[in-house]
Chain A
Amino acid sequence: MRDAAEGAALMSGTDVEVTQTTGMYGVLPNHALADSIRANMDAAEFPLTDEQESFAAELKATLDDPSYAGVPPERRDEAAESAMFTDPIDAPDEGETGAYSTDSGDVSWNVPLGRFRAATWPAGTPAHSWQAVAAGKDLGTAAMLFAGKVVAGSLYDLLTDEELLAEATAEFEARKGDREYESPLPDDADPYELTDR
Protein backbone atom coordinates (compact mmCIF):
# COMPACT_ATOMS: atom_id res chain seq x y z
CA MET A 1 0.00 0.00 0.00
CA ARG A 2 2.87 2.37 0.84
CA ASP A 3 4.55 1.45 -2.44
CA ALA A 4 1.33 2.08 -4.36
CA ALA A 5 1.04 5.49 -2.68
CA GLU A 6 4.62 6.36 -3.64
CA GLY A 7 3.88 5.29 -7.20
CA ALA A 8 0.75 7.40 -7.34
CA ALA A 9 2.70 10.41 -6.09
CA LEU A 10 5.43 9.83 -8.67
CA MET A 11 2.89 9.58 -11.50
CA SER A 12 0.99 12.70 -10.45
CA GLY A 13 4.03 14.76 -9.53
CA THR A 14 2.79 15.22 -5.99
CA ASP A 15 4.13 14.42 -2.55
CA VAL A 16 2.49 11.84 -0.36
CA GLU A 17 2.51 11.18 3.34
CA VAL A 18 1.21 7.87 4.68
CA THR A 19 0.41 7.88 8.39
CA GLN A 20 -0.72 4.79 10.21
CA THR A 21 -3.54 5.93 12.50
CA THR A 22 -4.31 2.68 14.26
CA GLY A 23 -4.29 -1.06 13.83
CA MET A 24 -5.28 -4.34 15.40
CA TYR A 25 -3.74 -7.78 15.37
CA GLY A 26 -5.59 -10.92 14.39
CA VAL A 27 -6.51 -13.24 17.26
CA LEU A 28 -4.14 -16.02 18.29
CA PRO A 29 -6.56 -18.73 19.43
CA ASN A 30 -5.84 -20.80 22.52
CA HIS A 31 -7.30 -24.30 22.42
CA ALA A 32 -6.20 -25.20 25.95
CA LEU A 33 -8.27 -22.33 27.34
CA ALA A 34 -11.12 -22.97 24.91
CA ASP A 35 -11.33 -26.57 26.17
CA SER A 36 -11.42 -25.39 29.79
CA ILE A 37 -14.18 -22.94 28.87
CA ARG A 38 -16.13 -25.70 27.13
CA ALA A 39 -15.91 -27.96 30.20
CA ASN A 40 -17.10 -25.16 32.47
CA MET A 41 -20.06 -24.53 30.16
CA ASP A 42 -21.25 -28.06 30.91
CA ALA A 43 -20.91 -27.47 34.65
CA ALA A 44 -22.80 -24.16 34.71
CA GLU A 45 -26.58 -24.06 34.33
CA PHE A 46 -28.52 -21.76 32.07
CA PRO A 47 -31.78 -20.99 33.83
CA LEU A 48 -34.46 -19.13 31.86
CA THR A 49 -37.80 -18.14 33.33
CA ASP A 50 -41.02 -18.82 31.40
CA GLU A 51 -41.43 -15.07 30.84
CA GLN A 52 -37.92 -14.88 29.37
CA GLU A 53 -38.61 -17.86 27.09
CA SER A 54 -41.82 -16.37 25.74
CA PHE A 55 -40.30 -12.89 25.29
CA ALA A 56 -37.43 -14.54 23.37
CA ALA A 57 -39.94 -16.26 21.07
CA GLU A 58 -41.76 -12.98 20.40
CA LEU A 59 -38.51 -11.16 19.71
CA LYS A 60 -37.21 -13.92 17.46
CA ALA A 61 -40.40 -13.70 15.39
CA THR A 62 -39.44 -10.12 14.43
CA LEU A 63 -36.07 -11.16 12.92
CA ASP A 64 -35.93 -10.64 9.20
CA ASP A 65 -34.53 -13.80 7.57
CA PRO A 66 -32.15 -14.78 10.41
CA SER A 67 -28.95 -16.66 9.55
CA TYR A 68 -27.92 -19.76 11.48
CA ALA A 69 -24.59 -20.07 9.69
CA GLY A 70 -22.83 -19.54 13.03
CA VAL A 71 -23.55 -23.11 14.11
CA PRO A 72 -22.56 -26.37 12.40
CA PRO A 73 -24.99 -27.49 9.62
CA GLU A 74 -26.40 -30.38 11.67
CA ARG A 75 -27.56 -28.00 14.43
CA ARG A 76 -29.12 -25.34 12.18
CA ASP A 77 -32.65 -26.74 12.13
CA GLU A 78 -32.61 -26.94 15.90
CA ALA A 79 -31.36 -23.34 16.12
CA ALA A 80 -34.09 -22.22 13.72
CA GLU A 81 -36.74 -23.89 15.87
CA SER A 82 -35.53 -22.65 19.28
CA ALA A 83 -36.28 -19.25 20.73
CA MET A 84 -33.06 -19.48 22.73
CA PHE A 85 -30.30 -21.86 21.67
CA THR A 86 -28.80 -22.56 25.08
CA ASP A 87 -27.10 -25.96 24.56
CA PRO A 88 -23.35 -25.39 24.77
CA ILE A 89 -21.62 -26.41 21.55
CA ASP A 90 -18.00 -26.98 20.57
CA ALA A 91 -16.13 -24.11 18.94
CA PRO A 92 -17.81 -23.68 15.55
CA ASP A 93 -14.94 -21.56 14.22
CA GLU A 94 -11.98 -23.92 14.67
CA GLY A 95 -9.43 -23.36 11.92
CA GLU A 96 -11.36 -20.42 10.50
CA THR A 97 -10.41 -16.78 10.08
CA GLY A 98 -13.45 -14.61 10.65
CA ALA A 99 -13.91 -11.56 8.42
CA TYR A 100 -13.81 -9.10 11.30
CA SER A 101 -11.20 -7.37 13.46
CA THR A 102 -11.12 -6.80 17.20
CA ASP A 103 -8.79 -5.21 19.72
CA SER A 104 -8.89 -8.57 21.55
CA GLY A 105 -6.47 -9.65 18.82
CA ASP A 106 -3.81 -7.45 20.37
CA VAL A 107 -4.53 -8.92 23.81
CA SER A 108 -4.03 -12.43 22.39
CA TRP A 109 -0.52 -11.49 21.23
CA ASN A 110 0.43 -10.40 24.74
CA VAL A 111 -1.12 -13.02 26.99
CA PRO A 112 -2.83 -16.42 26.52
CA LEU A 113 -6.46 -15.47 25.81
CA GLY A 114 -9.48 -17.75 26.09
CA ARG A 115 -12.61 -16.43 24.37
CA PHE A 116 -16.22 -17.55 24.30
CA ARG A 117 -19.69 -16.40 23.43
CA ALA A 118 -22.83 -16.69 25.51
CA ALA A 119 -26.44 -16.74 24.35
CA THR A 120 -27.75 -13.37 25.50
CA TRP A 121 -29.98 -13.02 22.40
CA PRO A 122 -32.64 -15.15 20.66
CA ALA A 123 -31.28 -17.63 18.12
CA GLY A 124 -30.20 -15.90 14.92
CA THR A 125 -30.12 -12.34 16.33
CA PRO A 126 -27.36 -10.27 14.71
CA ALA A 127 -25.22 -7.97 16.83
CA HIS A 128 -25.96 -4.25 16.42
CA SER A 129 -29.68 -4.93 15.83
CA TRP A 130 -32.56 -3.40 17.76
CA GLN A 131 -33.51 -6.92 18.85
CA ALA A 132 -30.11 -7.21 20.55
CA VAL A 133 -30.84 -4.01 22.48
CA ALA A 134 -34.32 -5.22 23.43
CA ALA A 135 -32.90 -8.53 24.69
CA GLY A 136 -30.22 -6.82 26.76
CA LYS A 137 -32.33 -5.52 29.59
CA ASP A 138 -33.72 -8.68 31.16
CA LEU A 139 -33.61 -11.69 28.81
CA GLY A 140 -29.83 -11.50 28.41
CA THR A 141 -29.12 -11.55 32.14
CA ALA A 142 -29.46 -15.37 32.18
CA ALA A 143 -26.53 -15.64 29.77
CA MET A 144 -24.71 -12.92 31.69
CA LEU A 145 -24.80 -14.98 34.90
CA PHE A 146 -23.90 -18.09 32.92
CA ALA A 147 -20.94 -16.25 31.36
CA GLY A 148 -19.86 -15.06 34.82
CA LYS A 149 -19.77 -18.68 35.98
CA VAL A 150 -17.79 -19.83 32.94
CA VAL A 151 -15.27 -16.99 33.43
CA ALA A 152 -15.02 -17.82 37.14
CA GLY A 153 -14.70 -21.56 36.45
CA SER A 154 -11.87 -21.15 33.93
CA LEU A 155 -9.97 -18.57 35.97
CA TYR A 156 -10.30 -20.82 39.02
CA ASP A 157 -8.97 -23.74 36.96
CA LEU A 158 -6.01 -21.61 35.93
CA LEU A 159 -5.22 -20.76 39.55
CA THR A 160 -5.61 -24.29 40.88
CA ASP A 161 -4.35 -26.41 37.97
CA GLU A 162 -0.73 -25.58 37.19
CA GLU A 163 -0.83 -27.85 34.19
CA LEU A 164 -3.61 -25.86 32.49
CA LEU A 165 -1.72 -22.59 32.87
CA ALA A 166 1.48 -24.22 31.62
CA GLU A 167 -0.35 -25.70 28.63
CA ALA A 168 -2.07 -22.43 27.76
CA THR A 169 1.24 -20.58 28.03
CA ALA A 170 3.12 -23.13 25.92
CA GLU A 171 0.43 -22.95 23.22
CA PHE A 172 0.59 -19.15 23.28
CA GLU A 173 4.38 -19.23 22.85
CA ALA A 174 4.17 -21.82 20.09
CA ARG A 175 1.57 -19.89 18.08
CA LYS A 176 3.44 -16.65 18.45
CA GLY A 177 6.72 -18.29 17.50
CA ASP A 178 9.51 -15.79 17.11
CA ARG A 179 7.18 -13.00 16.05
CA GLU A 180 7.25 -10.08 18.45
CA TYR A 181 4.24 -7.91 19.15
CA GLU A 182 4.85 -4.34 18.10
CA SER A 183 2.16 -1.85 18.97
CA PRO A 184 0.34 -0.82 15.78
CA LEU A 185 -0.25 2.60 17.32
CA PRO A 186 1.83 5.54 16.15
CA ASP A 187 3.87 7.10 18.99
CA ASP A 188 1.70 10.20 19.19
CA ALA A 189 -1.62 8.34 18.89
CA ASP A 190 -4.40 9.93 20.90
CA PRO A 191 -7.27 7.60 21.87
CA TYR A 192 -9.68 10.52 21.91
CA GLU A 193 -9.12 11.06 18.19
CA LEU A 194 -10.69 7.63 17.56
CA THR A 195 -14.19 8.94 18.08
CA ASP A 196 -13.73 11.79 15.62
CA ARG A 197 -12.98 9.36 12.85
Chain B
Amino acid sequence: MSKQDLFEEIDGERDWLTDVSEQLWENPEVALQEHDSAALLRDALREEGFTVESGVAGIDTAFVARYGDDDPVVGTMGEFDALPGMSQAAKAEREPIEAGEPGHGCGHNLFGTGSLAGAIAVKRAIERGDAEGSVVYLGTPAEEVGAGKTYMIRDGAFDDVDAVVSWHPDWINAPNKGSCLAVDSFDVAFTGETAHAAKSPEAGRSALDGVQLLGTGIEYMREHVADAVRIHYVVTDGGQAANVVPEEAAMEVMVRAPTASRSRPSPSACATPPRARR
Protein backbone atom coordinates (compact mmCIF):
# COMPACT_ATOMS: atom_id res chain seq x y z
CA MET B 1 0.00 0.00 0.00
CA SER B 2 1.26 3.48 -0.75
CA LYS B 3 0.90 6.64 1.31
CA GLN B 4 -1.39 8.00 -1.36
CA ASP B 5 -3.90 5.15 -0.71
CA LEU B 6 -3.94 6.20 2.92
CA PHE B 7 -4.52 9.83 1.98
CA GLU B 8 -7.27 8.88 -0.45
CA GLU B 9 -9.27 7.43 2.44
CA ILE B 10 -9.39 10.95 3.84
CA ASP B 11 -10.16 12.61 0.51
CA GLY B 12 -13.00 10.08 0.09
CA GLU B 13 -14.55 11.26 3.37
CA ARG B 14 -13.94 14.92 2.70
CA ASP B 15 -17.57 16.08 2.65
CA TRP B 16 -18.47 14.17 5.75
CA LEU B 17 -15.39 15.34 7.67
CA THR B 18 -15.91 19.00 6.79
CA ASP B 19 -19.52 18.59 7.90
CA VAL B 20 -18.41 17.22 11.30
CA SER B 21 -16.01 20.15 11.72
CA GLU B 22 -18.69 22.64 10.71
CA GLN B 23 -21.15 21.15 13.21
CA LEU B 24 -18.56 21.63 15.96
CA TRP B 25 -17.91 25.19 14.78
CA GLU B 26 -21.64 26.01 14.74
CA ASN B 27 -22.09 24.76 18.32
CA PRO B 28 -19.02 25.95 20.23
CA GLU B 29 -18.89 24.54 23.76
CA VAL B 30 -16.41 25.68 26.42
CA ALA B 31 -14.15 23.49 28.53
CA LEU B 32 -15.81 20.56 30.31
CA GLN B 33 -19.18 21.46 28.82
CA GLU B 34 -18.30 20.01 25.39
CA HIS B 35 -21.09 17.42 25.64
CA ASP B 36 -22.50 17.64 22.11
CA SER B 37 -19.04 18.00 20.59
CA ALA B 38 -17.67 14.94 22.38
CA ALA B 39 -20.80 12.96 21.47
CA LEU B 40 -20.48 13.89 17.79
CA LEU B 41 -16.87 12.67 17.65
CA ARG B 42 -17.59 9.55 19.74
CA ASP B 43 -20.51 8.59 17.49
CA ALA B 44 -18.38 9.07 14.38
CA LEU B 45 -15.70 6.78 15.79
CA ARG B 46 -18.21 4.19 16.98
CA GLU B 47 -19.84 4.10 13.57
CA GLU B 48 -16.44 3.55 12.01
CA GLY B 49 -15.94 0.49 14.22
CA PHE B 50 -13.94 1.86 17.14
CA THR B 51 -14.72 0.77 20.70
CA VAL B 52 -15.38 3.91 22.71
CA GLU B 53 -14.89 4.38 26.44
CA SER B 54 -16.56 7.57 27.70
CA GLY B 55 -16.27 9.46 30.95
CA VAL B 56 -12.56 8.73 31.29
CA ALA B 57 -10.87 10.07 34.45
CA GLY B 58 -14.20 11.23 35.87
CA ILE B 59 -14.63 13.76 33.04
CA ASP B 60 -17.87 13.26 31.10
CA THR B 61 -16.40 14.62 27.87
CA ALA B 62 -13.08 12.72 27.97
CA PHE B 63 -13.01 9.53 25.92
CA VAL B 64 -10.75 6.91 24.41
CA ALA B 65 -11.69 5.23 21.11
CA ARG B 66 -9.75 2.13 20.12
CA TYR B 67 -9.48 -0.11 17.09
CA GLY B 68 -7.47 -3.35 17.05
CA ASP B 69 -6.15 -5.79 19.66
CA ASP B 70 -2.54 -6.05 18.62
CA ASP B 71 0.69 -4.24 19.42
CA PRO B 72 2.02 -1.69 18.79
CA VAL B 73 -0.60 0.82 19.83
CA VAL B 74 -0.35 4.23 18.18
CA GLY B 75 -2.56 7.18 19.00
CA THR B 76 -3.63 10.67 18.20
CA MET B 77 -5.37 13.29 20.33
CA GLY B 78 -8.39 15.41 19.51
CA GLU B 79 -9.38 18.61 21.27
CA PHE B 80 -12.78 20.18 20.76
CA ASP B 81 -13.37 22.88 23.39
CA ALA B 82 -14.17 26.49 22.45
CA LEU B 83 -13.30 29.82 24.08
CA PRO B 84 -15.77 31.95 26.04
CA GLY B 85 -16.83 35.25 24.51
CA MET B 86 -15.26 34.57 21.09
CA SER B 87 -18.41 34.31 18.99
CA GLN B 88 -17.68 35.43 15.42
CA ALA B 89 -19.25 34.88 12.00
CA ALA B 90 -17.23 33.40 9.11
CA LYS B 91 -16.72 36.88 7.67
CA ALA B 92 -13.74 39.16 7.08
CA GLU B 93 -15.05 41.73 9.55
CA ARG B 94 -15.63 41.65 13.29
CA GLU B 95 -19.19 40.44 13.72
CA PRO B 96 -20.19 38.13 16.57
CA ILE B 97 -22.93 35.63 15.75
CA GLU B 98 -24.13 36.16 19.31
CA ALA B 99 -22.18 38.67 21.38
CA GLY B 100 -20.62 37.18 24.51
CA GLU B 101 -21.14 33.59 23.39
CA PRO B 102 -18.26 31.13 22.86
CA GLY B 103 -16.38 30.63 19.60
CA HIS B 104 -13.64 28.40 18.22
CA GLY B 105 -10.79 30.91 18.57
CA CYS B 106 -8.21 28.15 18.88
CA GLY B 107 -9.54 26.08 15.97
CA HIS B 108 -10.35 23.04 18.06
CA ASN B 109 -13.26 22.09 15.78
CA LEU B 110 -10.59 21.52 13.11
CA PHE B 111 -8.23 19.89 15.62
CA GLY B 112 -10.75 17.29 16.78
CA THR B 113 -11.90 16.51 13.25
CA GLY B 114 -8.45 16.44 11.61
CA SER B 115 -7.31 13.89 14.17
CA LEU B 116 -10.52 11.95 13.55
CA ALA B 117 -9.59 11.80 9.85
CA GLY B 118 -6.12 10.52 10.72
CA ALA B 119 -7.40 7.85 13.10
CA ILE B 120 -9.96 6.59 10.59
CA ALA B 121 -7.43 6.30 7.75
CA VAL B 122 -5.08 4.26 9.96
CA LYS B 123 -7.96 2.08 11.20
CA ARG B 124 -8.85 1.22 7.61
CA ALA B 125 -5.23 0.34 6.84
CA ILE B 126 -5.22 -2.06 9.83
CA GLU B 127 -8.59 -3.47 8.78
CA ARG B 128 -7.30 -4.18 5.28
CA GLY B 129 -4.25 -5.90 6.70
CA ASP B 130 -1.87 -3.25 5.39
CA ALA B 131 -0.61 -2.51 8.89
CA GLU B 132 -0.47 -4.47 12.11
CA GLY B 133 -1.32 -3.03 15.50
CA SER B 134 -3.97 -0.82 17.06
CA VAL B 135 -4.95 2.82 16.80
CA VAL B 136 -6.48 4.97 19.53
CA TYR B 137 -8.13 8.38 19.41
CA LEU B 138 -7.83 10.17 22.73
CA GLY B 139 -10.62 12.70 23.12
CA THR B 140 -8.96 15.26 25.37
CA PRO B 141 -11.32 17.96 26.64
CA ALA B 142 -10.70 21.23 28.45
CA GLU B 143 -7.39 22.14 26.85
CA GLU B 144 -8.20 25.82 27.24
CA VAL B 145 -8.28 25.57 31.02
CA GLY B 146 -5.34 23.17 31.06
CA ALA B 147 -4.88 19.74 32.51
CA GLY B 148 -7.65 17.66 30.86
CA LYS B 149 -4.90 15.37 29.60
CA THR B 150 -3.20 15.38 32.98
CA TYR B 151 -6.29 13.79 34.52
CA MET B 152 -6.49 11.24 31.70
CA ILE B 153 -2.83 10.33 32.23
CA ARG B 154 -3.37 9.85 35.95
CA ASP B 155 -6.29 7.57 35.09
CA GLY B 156 -4.01 5.45 32.89
CA ALA B 157 -5.55 6.38 29.53
CA PHE B 158 -2.10 6.60 27.89
CA ASP B 159 -0.56 3.58 29.66
CA ASP B 160 -0.60 1.08 26.80
CA VAL B 161 0.01 3.61 24.02
CA ASP B 162 3.44 3.28 22.36
CA ALA B 163 3.55 6.61 20.52
CA VAL B 164 1.29 9.61 19.87
CA VAL B 165 1.22 12.04 16.94
CA SER B 166 -0.84 15.17 17.41
CA TRP B 167 -1.18 18.65 15.95
CA HIS B 168 -2.60 22.11 16.59
CA PRO B 169 -4.10 24.79 14.32
CA ASP B 170 -1.77 27.68 13.44
CA TRP B 171 -0.75 29.60 10.32
CA ILE B 172 2.25 27.45 9.38
CA ASN B 173 2.77 23.83 8.36
CA ALA B 174 5.68 22.65 10.50
CA PRO B 175 6.67 20.00 13.01
CA ASN B 176 7.59 21.03 16.56
CA LYS B 177 11.03 20.27 17.92
CA GLY B 178 11.01 22.74 20.78
CA SER B 179 9.94 22.57 24.39
CA CYS B 180 7.86 24.88 26.57
CA LEU B 181 7.60 25.85 30.20
CA ALA B 182 6.37 23.60 32.96
CA VAL B 183 3.93 25.23 35.32
CA ASP B 184 2.82 24.67 38.90
CA SER B 185 -0.24 26.47 40.28
CA PHE B 186 -0.75 27.05 43.98
CA ASP B 187 -3.35 28.39 46.33
CA VAL B 188 -1.61 30.05 49.27
CA ALA B 189 -3.83 30.75 52.30
CA PHE B 190 -2.67 32.78 55.31
CA THR B 191 -4.50 32.65 58.60
CA GLY B 192 -3.91 35.30 61.27
CA GLU B 193 -5.89 36.64 64.19
CA THR B 194 -8.54 39.26 63.74
CA ALA B 195 -8.72 42.40 65.89
CA HIS B 196 -10.06 45.94 65.65
CA ALA B 197 -7.58 47.83 63.51
CA ALA B 198 -7.77 51.02 65.66
CA LYS B 199 -8.61 49.90 69.21
CA SER B 200 -6.41 46.82 69.53
CA PRO B 201 -4.25 46.17 66.49
CA GLU B 202 -1.54 44.72 68.73
CA ALA B 203 -3.85 41.82 69.51
CA GLY B 204 -4.17 40.90 65.87
CA ARG B 205 -2.00 39.16 63.29
CA SER B 206 -2.78 40.21 59.75
CA ALA B 207 -3.16 37.49 57.14
CA LEU B 208 -2.88 40.27 54.55
CA ASP B 209 0.61 41.06 55.88
CA GLY B 210 1.52 37.48 55.07
CA VAL B 211 0.22 37.91 51.51
CA GLN B 212 2.12 41.16 51.03
CA LEU B 213 5.35 39.77 52.46
CA LEU B 214 5.11 36.77 50.16
CA GLY B 215 4.53 39.07 47.18
CA THR B 216 7.58 41.08 48.20
CA GLY B 217 9.61 37.90 48.69
CA ILE B 218 8.66 36.72 45.19
CA GLU B 219 9.78 40.04 43.72
CA TYR B 220 13.21 39.64 45.34
CA MET B 221 13.35 36.01 44.17
CA ARG B 222 13.04 37.02 40.51
CA GLU B 223 16.65 38.16 40.36
CA HIS B 224 17.95 34.78 41.41
CA VAL B 225 16.09 32.42 39.11
CA ALA B 226 16.88 31.39 35.53
CA ASP B 227 15.88 33.91 32.84
CA ALA B 228 13.13 31.70 31.49
CA VAL B 229 11.35 31.38 34.85
CA ARG B 230 8.05 33.21 35.10
CA ILE B 231 6.20 33.82 38.37
CA HIS B 232 2.74 35.37 38.40
CA TYR B 233 0.28 35.91 41.20
CA VAL B 234 -2.97 37.58 42.16
CA VAL B 235 -4.52 38.27 45.54
CA THR B 236 -7.72 36.25 45.68
CA ASP B 237 -8.68 37.32 49.21
CA GLY B 238 -7.33 40.48 50.81
CA GLY B 239 -9.63 40.70 53.82
CA GLN B 240 -13.09 42.16 54.31
CA ALA B 241 -12.85 45.69 55.68
CA ALA B 242 -9.98 48.12 56.30
CA ASN B 243 -10.89 48.63 59.97
CA VAL B 244 -10.53 44.92 60.77
CA VAL B 245 -7.20 43.10 60.89
CA PRO B 246 -7.83 40.37 58.30
CA GLU B 247 -7.91 36.87 59.72
CA GLU B 248 -7.91 35.24 56.28
CA ALA B 249 -6.08 36.25 53.10
CA ALA B 250 -5.07 34.25 50.05
CA MET B 251 -3.15 34.32 46.78
CA GLU B 252 -3.02 32.29 43.62
CA VAL B 253 0.55 31.80 42.46
CA MET B 254 1.79 30.28 39.20
CA VAL B 255 5.41 29.34 38.62
CA ARG B 256 6.68 28.49 35.13
CA ALA B 257 10.11 27.12 34.34
CA PRO B 258 11.87 25.00 31.71
CA THR B 259 12.26 21.39 32.79
CA ALA B 260 14.67 20.02 30.24
CA SER B 261 17.86 21.13 31.91
CA ARG B 262 16.91 20.27 35.47
CA SER B 263 17.26 17.10 37.40
CA ARG B 264 13.87 17.62 39.02
CA PRO B 265 10.92 18.52 36.86
CA SER B 266 9.08 20.67 39.38
CA PRO B 267 9.21 24.32 38.34
CA SER B 268 8.64 25.42 41.91
CA ALA B 269 11.89 23.72 42.81
CA CYS B 270 13.62 25.45 39.88
CA ALA B 271 12.28 28.79 41.01
CA THR B 272 13.68 28.42 44.50
CA PRO B 273 17.07 30.13 44.84
CA PRO B 274 19.66 27.35 45.26
CA ARG B 275 20.76 28.40 48.72
CA ALA B 276 17.26 28.37 50.07
CA ARG B 277 16.48 24.95 48.61
CA ARG B 278 16.11 22.23 51.17
A residues near B (Cβ < 8 Å) are 1-5, 7-9, 11-29, 31, 33-38, 40-41, 43-46, 55, 58-59, 61-62, 70-71, 79, 84-107, 109-125, 127-130, 132-141, 143-156, 158-160, 165, 168-169, 175, 179, 181-185, 189-192, 194-195, 197
Contact = CB atoms under 8 A, between A and B. Distances in A.
B166 A34 contact: no
Contacts of A40: 3
Contact of A125 (B171, B230, B259): B171
A20 B170 contact: no
B255 interface: yes
Interface residues of B, number: 137
Contact of B170 (A107, A117, A128): A117
A98 B186 contact: no
A31 B177 CA distance: 6
Nearest to A29: B177
Q: Which of B4, B91, B173, B268 has the most CB of A within 10 A?
A: B173
A102 B140 CA distance: 12
Contacts of A185: 147, 150-151, 154
Contacts of A98: 178-181
B165 interface: yes
A144 B177 contact: no
B76 A151 contact: yes
A95 to B, nearest CB: 7
Chain B residues touching A, majority SS: mixed
B163 A152 contact: no
B243 interface: no
Interface string B75-102: 1110000010011111111100000000
A122 B171 contact: yes
Contact of B259 (A21, A25, A99, A152): A25
B278 interface: yes
A14 to B, nearest CB: 4
Q: Which of A4, A18, A100, A124 has the most CB of B within 10 A?
A: A4
B58 A118 contact: no
